[in-house]
Structure 1
Amino acid sequence: MHETIVRLADVWKTCNKIRAAAFRVGLNLWDWYRPLDPEGNSLMSESKFVSILAGPLRSVVGLSDAEIAQLADYFRAQDGRVLYHQLCQIIHGEDAGGRNKTSADCILEACPPPPEPACHQLDQWQLRRLCCLLATIAARDLPLKPYFQDYELVAKNDGRITFAHFARILNYIGVIVTAEDFNLLVRKFIKDSYTIDYVDFLKAVDDVKKHGIQGLGQEYLNPNAIIDTTLPKLVRPEVEAGLSTEPLGATETFHPALAQPRPARQLVDVMLRVQQHVLQRRIRVSEFFRDYDPLNSGRIAPQQFRRALDVLGLGAVLSPPELLCVMRHYLDPNDPQRICWRTFEDDCDQVFTIKELEKHPDAVAGVARKAVLALPALGAAAERGEGESPRDLDAAQAALLRVRAACSERAIDLRPAFCDHDE
């Protein structure tokens, strides 16, 4: 039974392809098959039936050998001949040209079109969004039909194109749609698993141009006026009952706009973080400033200095006010429009060595490096000024012990789980 349904659907698609070609070029199958049946008994040999579709009409209709074989097998009579009369009636209806003789016994029941899958049905909100999209396309007054006709002449199709060609044509003519809108177009005008009926799409756009979905008025021009996006009120039974909300604890918000700003740090702490960044990544600071100073004067513009700091990666370590504080600290005292990047480089390189150490016998090397290594990690509780109380430390230690016990009992390897997020 399933094979019969699939076969009927394939024959129906082939008939639709022939019908589209007949409508496109004015083809009449009666004129081709009637001369081959002088007796008018609505039957002919399979070789004659195939010779028409596979011969002069192959370039017009564009049927493959498998599709022609399916048609011949479907319309084959018991004696092996083919009922071409039934095929012509499905495509064109009764022969208006003329024979008075018709055999009702030779007409088979045409296979119905396959039912539309449930996934292609749209709800009222999706239909409204699709109507707004079609109205927007129609309002541009674009000549859509010539682009699809060019593809039709090349591919000799039956009014259908693949998803990729449909998207390519829309992109070429400047109709840029989102993935959700394109999905709605596909679900509305899809015909099989990989093609879209662009004839229905053009007809829908033409209907919008003629009748006008814009006649909906302000509701169409401003969809938010009728689509209520307000969230329902959160049910709080303890508030309605007049109970206190203190047992629930402090309310925490996770919206980034409501996050507390990071407290300001002193310039010394900021420079220690810069030196830590340079030490951990073994950065040669001069390589990022040298291109902005072709005369090797040791001074560059503030915009160039800020650009070099961003390339260094300090934008992820310091906040914009802290970067501005660093720039103000290294301003040239003789020219406020220049920044001494050489001085900044010397301060950063102190974690590696001290410039001209031989001229300062009392200087102790490695002090800056030790101070940088003693800094807490970025994002740690100590760096944020949190979790330093004995109670917090005990709670953290207890949590780590529970995690360790669970990993030991269940043989859990935490490394792959974290590596998936560390790309």
Structure 2
Amino acid sequence: MTRPETEVVREVQDATQQTPRTKGFDEQSLDEVDEAMESIRFQVAKHKLQPKDYLKDFDRHNKGKVTEQQFAQALDMARIVLTPRQVRLLQLYFGHDGLVSYRLFLNDLAPAAALANLTQNTLRGVKEVETRRNQFRDKDDGADLEETMEKIKLAVAQRRIRIIEHMRGFDKLRKGRVTVRAFRSALSMCGLELTLPEYRALESEYAVPEVPEHVNYVKFCREVDAVFGATDLHREPTLESQQFIPPMDIEVEANTRKMAGEEKNVAEEVLMHVARIVDERGVAMNDDFKDYDRVNRGSVTRSQFQRVLSDLRLTDGVKQSSVDALMNMFRVRVGGQENVHYRRFLTQVDAICEDLHRAPAQ
């Protein structure tokens, strides 16, 4: 019986991939790959793990390949314990042009010997690997929940994503919760490129206490969708709708939080300096910025922002590094270009001026 043409094509493609030698693998690294595979075989057999299902979830077009990040996520979701180096070696060994052939990986994963033949040394080695991986996981679980949520909200607001529609596909009984595996799959299907620590931070925050390994996706989606305004107006007409948070404002908040302490202090000093001059002279900056902002985006280029401050003589005597810190505080990316969110800048200047008037005279 003739084999389907697609199978023949796949075999040819697999055979023409780079060999481990051409990828720079030496004897030691090849031994490490073998050890990693043996460790996975042991864990799969002992705990009845199913990495294939998780890998196929990422392969929506059935090409037999996933990205390196998806490969690492699938192993983690399948509860396979490896060190970061082992994961990276497997990505390189089974990878080509940034994609990992999980079909080759699964073919090699077929147990070469019965578990009964495993030596005590092998068992001890697996336990050591588990210990190292758990230590790394504890150290790596440092993702900031607030930053992760802002990252998601920014993507949702910019691309008008409705995450809840993807989540409901995994919740046939409409219980308002999904498994951890389904939660990650849904977010991945939305095109949200989250790291493993970010996934874990979300899963910890929205965990369902009475049902282990489940996430309350309704609560999560409600908080994410807050960027579109109040979501329960049809149930509570008297509820006040919160003003939509522009995507650039979300990005500014995230960038400000990531600034180094010293740079942030310098930026705040320059901001206060500018606000005092504006208050004393009664300077109006809005029209000057709008001259450069023809499409009313609320942002201008860094050179345009600096030009306005210079023309109005608001930064005379201020070091360039300090002006750069101020622009970094309000930086946003627009069309692949780094701009300055002048509208947010003006709002903060106005707020400082109001505080100056409310403050008692010294």
The alignment's TM-score, normalised by the length of structure 1, stands at 0.29
